Amino acid sequence: RTNMDEFAMGSSCENSAFAKTANPWDIERVPGGSSGGSASSVSASMVPAALGSDTGGSIRQPAAFCGTVGLKPSYGIVSRYGLVAFASSLDQIGPITNTVLDSAIMLDIISGRDAMDCTSLELESGFANFADAAKNAESLRGARVGIPSECLDCEGLEDSIRRSVEKTIEIMRGLGAQIMTVSLPHWKYSVASYYVIAAAEASANLARFDGVRYGLREKTENLSDMYFSTREAGFGEEVKRRILLGTFVLSSGYYDAYYLRAQKARTLIRRDYEDAFKKCDIILTPVTPSLPFKFGEKSSPLQMYLSDIFTISVNLAGNCAISVPSEISPSGLPIGIQFVAPSNGEKILLSASAVFEKNREIKRFTPPETKRAVL
C-alpha cells in the first residue's frame, strides 16, 4: 500500500490522512497526487510498478513529477471493482512504471471485462497484448500528431515545459510523424466543469461513509449525533469541501445552473476531441503547467486545482492518455509530456510513446542519489 491524497482528492499528497510523501528528485518537493506514493516508490526503485487511480490526472501528474511513466486507460478498459469510488464516471485504474513497455505489460494483466463492473469492456481479443504494441513499434512514419493550439497558449505554462513540448515535436517530426495544429475550443471549460461533476459524484459516493455501514464510528448518545460526529471526525478538510460543493451543485434550484451546464460542457469537450481525432491519430500536450512544486507552495485550493489543467479534459472525454518523461529541467527536475489517443486507442498510444521513449535525448530517468538519501 502506498500513500495518497485522501479519497484521491488532491494533486500533491498533502491531503493525505497519514503522512507526507516526498519527491525522490528533491525531497523538499511534492511527488504530485493523488497517487503520489505510487509514483514516488517507482521512481525511488522501491518497486518496479505500482497502480494509481486517475479521476482528473492522478496517475499522469505524479508520474510526470517523479520522472516515471503513467498510463490512464480509456474509460471501461480496467474494472473498477475494489476501487473506492471518488467520481465513478471519471475514475480509472492504471499503472505507474519506469518504461512504456512495463506499463503495457501491466495493462495486459489488469484490463478486460469483469462481471463485477458493468462498465468494464470486452476487449477485441481475449488477451489484449498491449505489450506487443509497445515492443514492436519502430517508426512514426504515417502517424499524424495533433498539437492543440489552446494548450501551448495557456497562461501560466512554465518556459521549461513549453520548450520540452517543442523539442518533443521536433523529435517526432524527425521520426517521420506528420505534425499538425488542432483545436479544442471548449478545453478552457474543463477545469470548471470537472470540479462541478467530480464534486457532485463524490458527494453521492461518500454518503455511504456514515458510521453505520463502513469504517469509523464515533461514540455518541444518539443516532443523529453519531452521523454528524463520524463525518466530522472521519473526513479531512479537502474532502469536506468537495462534499459541500457537490451537495450544493446538486441541490434543487442550483442543479440547472451548475450541474446541468457542466454536463453540457463535458459533451462539448468530448466532441472537440472526436473532431480533432478525425484529423490526427494522437494529441501531444504538456502534462503539468509547472515543475514539481514545494510543500505548502500552493496555498489556495484553486491554485492546486489548476495544476491538472492538461490532464482533466481526457477524463471528461473518456480517452486514454500517457505521461512519459521527456527531459530534465535546468534545475534538475523531471519533465513529462502527454500523449492522448481516442477511447480504446491504447495500441497506438503505447506504440507512439514507446518510439518517442526510445528516441528521446535522456535514456533513463533516475533521481540523483544525493537528493534522495534520507527517504
Among 14, 26, 54, 327, binds ligand GLN (CB under 6 A): 54
The least distance separating ligand GLN from the CB of residue 278, rounded to whole angstroms, comes to 28
Element (H, E) at 123: none
Which 138-167 residues touch ligand GLN, going by CB under 6 A? Answer: none
Is the Cβ of residue 65 or residue 356 nearer to ligand GLN in the bound state? 65
The grid coordinates listed for 334 are 523531471
Does 316 contact ligand GLN by CB under 6 A? no
Position 288 contacts ligand GLN (CB under 6 A): no
CB 75 → ligand GLN: shortest distance, Å?
A: 13
Sequence-separated (6 or more) residues with CB below 8 Å from residue 329 = 160, 291, 335
Stretch of residues binding ligand GLN (CB under 6 A), selected from 56-64, 145-153, 155-163, 291-299: 56-64
Task: Please state, in angstroms and rounded to a whole number, the distance separating the CA atoms of residues 54 and 280.
Answer: 24
Mutual angle of helices 261-279 and 190-205, in 10-degree steps: 120
User: First CA to last CA across the chain, in angstroms?
Assistant: 17
What is the C-alpha to C-alpha distance for residues 32 and 165, in angstroms, rounded to an integer?
A: 20
Contact 186, 269 (CB under 8 A): yes
Interface with ligand GLN (CB under 6 A), residue from 2, 3, 8, 100:
8
Return the closest-CA partner of residue 365 out of 95, 70, 48, 68.
68
Cβ proximity to ligand GLN, 34 vs 98, nearer residue: 34
Give the gyration radius of the chain's Cα atoms.
20
How are the residues of the chain apportioned to helix, strand and coil, as percentages rounded to the nearest 5?
45, 15, 40
- For ligand GLN, the binding residues in 73-92 under the rule CB under 6 A are 86
User: CB of residue 255 vs ligand GLN: minimum separation in angstroms?
Assistant: 21
Considering only residues 222-241, where is the footprint of ligand GLN by CB under 6 A? none
- Which residue lies nearest ligand GLN, judged by its C-beta? 58
For ligand GLN (CB under 6 A), the number of binding residues is: 14
- Joined together, the cell numbers standing for residue 130 give 498491449
Grid cell 452521523 — which residue?
227
Q: Does 96 bind ligand GLN (CB under 6 A)?
A: no
Residue selected from 26, 308, 327, 346 as contacting ligand GLN according to rule CB under 6 A: 308
- Name the H helices within the chain: 36-43, 60-65, 100-110, 130-136, 149-152, 159-174, 190-205, 223-234, 237-250, 261-279, 301-305, 312-317, 346-359, 369-372
Say whether residue 9 binds ligand GLN (CB under 6 A). yes
Question: Cα–Cα distance between 58 and 328 in angstroms, integer?
Answer: 21
Q: How far is the CB of 114 from ligand GLN (least distance, A)?
A: 21
Q: Is 10 in the site for ligand GLN (CB under 6 A)?
A: yes
Interaction of residue 201 with ligand GLN, rule CB under 6 A: no
CA distances from 98 to 39, 47, 258, 347 (A): 9, 10, 40, 18
Identify which range of 54-62, 183-191, 278-286, 318-326 contacts ligand GLN by CB under 6 A.
Answer: 54-62
Name the segment binding ligand GLN (CB under 6 A); options: 4-12, 118-126, 284-292, 341-349. 4-12
Q: Of these, 58, 99, 168, 319, which contacts ligand GLN (CB under 6 A)?
A: 58
Residue closer to ligand GLN by CB (options 175, 202) is 202
Q: How far is the CB of 57 from ligand GLN (least distance, A)?
A: 5
| Rounded distance between C-alpha atoms, residue 100 and residue 108, angstroms | 12
Of positions 56, 62, 246, 345, contacts ligand GLN by CB under 6 A: 56
Q: Which of 157, 165, 198, 269 binds ligand GLN (CB under 6 A)?
A: 198
- Asked whether position 102 contacts ligand GLN by CB under 6 A, the answer is no
Given the rule CB under 6 A, which residues bind ligand GLN? 8-11, 34, 53-58, 86, 198, 308
